[in-house]
Amino acid sequence: MAPIINLSMVQNQFQYIIIGAGCAGLQLAKALLEQSSDLVSSILLIDAEKAHQEKSWCFWHDNDHPYRHLVRNEWSHVEFVAESLKVSEDIHPQTYQYINSLDFHQYHLNLFEKDDRIKIVYQHVNEIIPNNKINKIITANDIYFGEYIFHTNLVNNLKSDSYPKVWQHFLGWEIEVDYPSFDINNATIMDFSLNDSKDIQFFYILPFSKTRALVECTFFSKQLIVEADYEILITKYLSAKLSCSFTIKAKEVGKIPMHIVDLPHWQSDTIIPIGTAAGCIKPSTGYSFSRIIQHTEEIINAVKLKKKIPLRRSKPRFLFYDKLFLHIIDYESFTMNNIFFYLFKNNKIITILKFLDEKTTLLEECIIFLGLPKMPFLKAILKSK
């Protein structure tokens, strides 16, 4: 008797399933498709939403990365401003780079159209069921089977009770002015000069031209605020900084989790977190783009060598520093302005960026910490035990 073949199972079976066509899922799908068909035969990319919400993605990097051609703007200098301090430094050989997430999204969709190894579906994933032979995914409309499942930023992962938990939240206006007012070489990553609250609140400026810039009001805090409150602060900031009127061309609102990510309990060698779920968002800064590039490379190296796919891992001492920073943001936020002040007063910006990239030596880290206020860190160390 001929064997009974379940046709829907065969049609819905893939070598790789990627859940989440966001920053990490798209990077991974592209990198997998760059491999030969012997290594990568089929991919299913699933996302709950077809529409993509536009975001401004920035990161510091040299020219050597896979998305160099998508960089719309870049700045040679990075600036930090506080009430009595202003530092701006050339970060050569890196620049501070800006990619618009719509360009990024569309670029990947165009690439995928040309490769019949990948299928994209727009369905909400409800459940991932691990299985030694083949993993199963249940969506609102269908069931899919995958040898390897990669997943990111699913709502369930963010329900973690991991401690401490803080948000980076912000609202920005892209504005245009009549009179040349912005320095096109300088991206201001933090401007604390108008912070009169106890919260960690600063402004962020990306000048796209002498007359056009994105100006964001950013907080690191447990509590979110309503849009009108950010708008009051931006208006106050702009009236102090600009000597001319402005018009608002676009608006960006967002929140990014700043926490140490717990791996989900249903983790396995063939169900692998990427992006947000893998801890690619640096807990103390909210930046993720470069870390996602790195993790994607690590995954692809393992696929090529047919080795176990690695989870993204920070070195333990960098995780510890992140925990301390989060603890201080959570419990002693009023000291953070002072911490940032001394961080930028006592160190070159290029060293700070290297530290945030987790590429400094222990000696460099000791020098950084010796230049910071000690009490908040001592308290955080005692509490974290």
Residues near ligand FAD (CB under 6 A): 19-25, 46-49, 55-59, 124-125, 152-155, 252, 254, 256, 275-276, 281, 287-289
Residue 165 Cα distances to 106, 257, 261, 328, angstroms? 33, 7, 10, 11
Please state the closest distance from residue 254 (CB atom) to ligand FAD, in A: 3
Please state the closest distance from residue 206 (CB atom) to ligand FAD, in A: 9
Helix then strand then coil, in percent of the chain rounded to 5, is: 35, 30, 35
The b/e string for 281-306 (b: 16+ C-beta within 10 A; e otherwise) is: bbbbebbbbbbbbebbeebbeebeee
Residue nearest to ligand FAD (CB): 22
In the beta sheet, which residues pair with residue 212? 176
Strand order in the sheet with 71-75: 56-61, 95-100, 71-75
Q: Please count the other Cβ atoms lying within 10 Å of the Cβ belonging to residue 114.
A: 8
220 contacts 170 by C-beta, under 8 angstroms: no
Please state the closest distance from residue 132 (CB atom) to ligand FAD, in A: 24
Q: Which is nearer to ligand FAD, 49 or 178 (CB)?
A: 49
Q: Which is nearer to ligand FAD, 58 or 380 (CB)?
A: 58
368 contacts 351 by C-beta, under 8 angstroms: yes
Q: What is the enclosing helix (H) or strand (E) of 82? A: strand 77-82
Residue type, 93: P
Please state the closest distance from residue 235 (CB atom) to ligand FAD, in A: 20
Q: Which is nearer to ligand FAD, 14 or 377 (CB)?
A: 14
Q: Which is nearer to ligand FAD, 53 or 384 (CB)?
A: 53
Please state the closest distance from residue 84 (CB atom) to ligand FAD, in A: 27
Please state the closest distance from residue 244 (CB atom) to ligand FAD, in A: 27
DSSP string, 157-181: GGG---SS-EEEEEEEEEEEESS--
Q: Which is nearer to ligand FAD, 220 or 377 (CB)?
A: 220
Q: Which is nearer to ligand FAD, 95 or 335 (CB)?
A: 95
Rg (CA), the chain: 22
Please state the closest distance from residue 205 (CB atom) to ligand FAD, in A: 13
Q: Which is nearer to ligand FAD, 207 or 376 (CB)?
A: 207
Please state the closest distance from residue 123 (CB atom) to ligand FAD, in A: 7
Q: Which is nearer to ligand FAD, 59 or 377 (CB)?
A: 59
The b/e string for 226-247 (b: 16+ C-beta within 10 A; e otherwise) is: eeeebeebbeebbeeebeeebe
Please state the closest distance from residue 329 (CB atom) to ligand FAD, in A: 17
Handedness of CA 138, 143, 144, 147 (dihedral sign): positive
38 contacts 11 by C-beta, under 8 angstroms: no
Q: Which is nearer to ligand FAD, 230 or 377 (CB)?
A: 230
- Cis peptide, bond prior to residue 93, ω within 30 of zero: yes
